[in-house]
Amino acid sequence: MANGIAKLWLIFNLISGISIHAQNPIGFTPFATYRGLVLGTEAPIPYLQGNADEGGYFTNLTKNYQLIVPSSAFMPTHTWFGENQYNFTETDWLLGATSDSTGWVQQNGMLVRAHALVWGKDYRVPNWLLDQEASITPDKVKSLLSDFIHTIVSRYRGKIHWWNVINEAGSDHNENSPFNLGNSFWYRKLGPDFIKYPFIFAYEADPNIKLYYNEYNIEKEGVKANGLLALIIKYLNNLLI
């Protein structure tokens, strides 16, 4: 009971603190830092590059948040255009193209969480991969995936602290598949192992980053949540990353 009261007090304290500081012109960042919190938000890179809202977007972002999740800049469909063919224009602008260079993030004292290396949905798989699905072998797919992940994670080693490795691989419906995984390109070519390979490749590229599986609609028990729990126990719990 005492723990429950303490938790309620903490929640009330945070909410009341936010309410009190909502109109504070210095923003939420000092409030969050004081309490040991990291506040983050999605941020489209073109908004930052284009001085959106006559600078108002930048001001509100840096005043209220310490971390950004770029909307699409790190996605395979945005960076990966063929075997050994990459476009890192936006991500280099954000973080710097070399280990000793800086970008917008460092220059503004921000942090970045990158999203995402692999999506479990075909509409987030690069078209050039989908176009050759019938002819490409599983071994080749695994090799290509390894090359992509090692390339992009290594490029920003030490500049990114969090990577969303797998995004939305579970299905909302009963698929009668292992772990109720959706019918995506990665699943069709690599089977359930497409879940573990990206974690292994990302860890090899940067052993110091924190790696995540990102999902939605798993708040309550059901075929999707149960499948994900089994997936974690089977694949991710044994990866010492």
Q: Tell me whether residue 222 is in a domain.
A: yes
**More confident: 241 or 195:** 195
Q: Tell me whether residue 220 is in a domain.
A: yes
pLDDT at residue 239, rounded to an integer: 59
Residue 143 CA to chain centroid, in angstroms? 22
67 and 107, same domain (yes or no): yes
12 and 72, same domain (yes or no): no
Q: Tell me whether residue 241 is in a domain.
A: no
Q: Tell me whether residue 163 is in a domain.
A: yes
95 and 175, same domain (yes or no): yes
Closest CA to 188 of 117, 121, 116, 115: 121
27 and 121, same domain (yes or no): no
Q: If pLDDT is split at 50, 70 and 90, which confidence band does 236 have?
A: low
Question: 123, 168 in Cβ contact below 8 A?
Answer: no
Q: What is the sign, positive or negative, of the torsion defined by CA atoms of 231, 233, 234, 238?
A: positive
pLDDT at residue 24, rounded to an integer: 55
Q: Tell me whether residue 104 is in a domain.
A: yes
Average pLDDT over residues 5-16: 41
- Over residues 46-93, the pLDDT tens digits come to 999 998 998 899 999 999 999 999 999 999 999 999 999 999 999 999
Q: Tell me whether residue 108 is in a domain.
A: yes
26 and 89, same domain (yes or no): no
Q: Which residues contact 98 (CB under 8 A, 6 or more apart)?
A: none
116 and 184, same domain (yes or no): yes
pLDDT at 138 over 60: yes
102 and 144, same domain (yes or no): yes
Q: Which residues contact 82 (CB under 8 A, 6 or more apart)?
A: 128
pLDDT at residue 19, rounded to an integer: 45
Strands 40-43 and 67-70: parallel
47 and 3, same domain (yes or no): no
Average pLDDT over residues 204-217: 96
pLDDT at residue 7, rounded to an integer: 43
42 and 30, same domain (yes or no): no
Name the residue range of residue 69's domain: 38-236
* Mean pLDDT, all residues of the chain: 89
190 and 89, same domain (yes or no): yes
When divided into structural domains, the chain yields a total of 2
Q: Tell me whether residue 123 is in a domain.
A: yes
Q: Tell me whether residue 110 is in a domain.
A: yes
16 and 134, same domain (yes or no): no
For residue 183, what is the domain's CATH number? Answer: 3.20.20.80
134 and 207, same domain (yes or no): yes
Q: Which residues contact 168 (CB under 8 A, 6 or more apart)?
A: 119, 120, 121, 182, 214, 215, 216
- Over residues 11-40, the pLDDT tens digits come to 334 444 444 444 556 788 888 888 999 999
